[in-house]
Structure 1
Amino acid sequence: MTTVLPLNLQVRPITAADNPLIARVIRDVSAEFGLTADKGYTVSDPNLDRLFELYSEANSAYWIVEHEGRVVGGGGIAPLACSAPDICELQKMYFLPQVRGLGLARGLALQALDYARQQGFRRCYLETTASLTRAIKLYESLGFVLIDTAMGCTGHGDCEVRMLRTL
């Protein structure tokens, strides 16, 4: 499904050609917020350059946000590895500054949660870091609650904020 939004914004499923483009967005946003190796963060996600392949797996989806044909963000959902089969994970929600504050993250998260329900998931997990205060507020407004311990095998040791929501 492709969604057309105001300001020449479009949300659509990821394609193979998007791999380097969304990887660049994720790296740029991470650097903007200081989530870099020199600040103690692990930035060598082995899947970052192959998101299309990763989200082509069963019960997984990733959506790209385009502005006038340029990739400016994205987000996805996938089963939570090493976890109960009814738990998914909201993943890799990143947006460039020019499209923040337009409700895209909220809309994309809701789309991902709807997709997760359709796939039969009953709970959704996510991890983030405390420095991303706007993201945490968004997730809380969507019904995610803080939990004390990590779930699954995400490989995100740097993400000290863990949240869960019933779908």
Structure 2
Amino acid sequence: MRLPEDVTLRPATDADGEAIRHLIFGVLREYGLQPEPDGTDADLFAITATYEQSGGWFACLVRDDGTVVGTVALFNVDAVTCELRKMYLAREVRGQGLGAFLLRQAIETARRLGFQWMVLETASVLKEAIALYERAGFQRVTQPNHSCRCDAVYRLGLVREGDQG
């Protein structure tokens, strides 16, 4: 899948924070979920410190006009585990394969950063996202979730046969 010609995937910075929050909070509300700026979403006010400086990754899909239309992030949980976070797309770009593209980029980046496991928390109302995760091989696991708006936890092994030896 190639990105549309007017869209670029690039590292997010703190300067993108307002546009990223606008996108993510809008998508959450669209699905009847509440943003948590003082809780689960506090990381969106310190992107560089939360992700880049702690060994994670945060990227955004940006149109040529500067509009942020997608986001995806990896949070460093521990030496072998990262958490997929903040994967959202604006309504007008959904259904074009961009979710699968972002997920592939996240998985490839996690492997490159040396993680062996990827976990994620999601809300069951995000049916399209859950279907995407399950197609990619994520398995639902029974473990406590940390975000009050999430009710499902998934995990994916990142080590491919032949990677260790």
TM-score bin, normalised by smaller chain: 0.7 to 0.9
Separation (CA, whole Å) in 2 of partners of 1:52 and 1:107: 23
Report whether the alignment pairs 1:49 with 2:40.
no
User: What amino acid maps onto 1:78 in structure 2?
Assistant: F
Give structure 1 stretches of 5+ with no counterpart.
none
- Find 2:122's aligned residue among 118, 128, 133: 128
Separation (CA, whole Å) in 2 of partners of 1:159 and 1:125: 13
Query: Counterpart in 1 of 2:73?
Result: 76
Q: Segments of 4+ in structure 1 off by > 6 A?
A: none
Query: Counterpart in 2 of 1:102?
Result: 96
Deviates more, 1:140-149 or 1:57-66: 57-66
Give structure 2 stretches of 5+ with no counterpart.
159-165
Q: Following TM superposition, by how much is the alpha carbon of 1:54 offset from its aligned partner in structure 2, in angstroms?
A: 1.6
- Deviation by residue 1:73-109 (Cα, 9 ceiling, x = unmatched): 10111212xxx52111000001110111111111111
Identity of aligned residues (%): 33
Report whether the alignment pairs 1:27 with 2:21.
no
Separation (CA, whole Å) in 2 of partners of 1:63 and 1:48: 12
The TM-score with structure 1 as length reference comes to 0.85
CA contact (8 A) 1:19 1:52 kept: no
Query: Counterpart in 2 of 1:161?
Result: 152
* CA root-mean-square deviation: 1.8
Separation (CA, whole Å) in 1 of partners of 2:121 and 2:54: 21
The TM-score with structure 2 as length reference comes to 0.86
User: What amino acid maps onto 2:154 in structure 1?
Assistant: M
Query: Counterpart in 2 of 1:9?
Result: 7
Separation (CA, whole Å) in 2 of partners of 1:52 and 1:23: 14
Q: Following TM superposition, by how much is the alpha carbon of 1:66 offset from its aligned partner in structure 2, in angstroms?
A: 1.1
Matched residue SS, 1:90 = strand
Match runs of 1:115-154 below 5 Å: 115-150=109-144
- Deviation by residue 1:130-158 (Cα, 9 ceiling, x = unmatched): 0000000000011101011136xxx4132
